[in-house]
Amino acid sequence: MAVKYTKHFLDKLESLFSASSYILRYEKGNFKSGYCVLKETKIVIVNKYFPLEGKINALIDILSELNLDPQEFKDKTNQDFLTELRQTTLKF
């Protein structure tokens, strides 16, 4: 799957988090990697000053780190999108 650096693609990634048990927040901060995952409270914090490309890359990294199960999502669209993202590798 080709990663598209558009607002629509970011919205699709954000919808995955809203359908999961994790809360996604954009906050200012000096995060070493651009994001922070608090697994005990299931909160994901992304640096709000990141450009669009940085936010998308951070969210894809987080999704791969969390190992969410596509079957946990009720919506088939989210299941398919997460499965496609799993097959995506980012090249920097």
In the chain, where the domains are located: 7-86
- Contact indicator for 63, 16 with CB cutoff of 8 Å: yes
Q: What angle do CA 15, 17, 18 make, to 5 degrees?
A: 65
Separation of CA 50 from chain center: 14
pLDDT above 80 for 4: yes
pLDDT above 70 for 92: no
* Distances in whole angstroms, Cα of residue 55 to Cα of each of 40, 52, 89: 22, 5, 16
Q: What are the tens digits of pLDDT across the range 21-47?
A: 899 999 887 766 667 778 788 888 898
Instruction: Work out the pLDDT band at 10, boundaries 50, 70, 90.
Output: very high
Please tell me what DSSP assigns to residue 88.
-
Q: What angle do CA 51, 56, 61 make, to 5 degrees?
A: 125
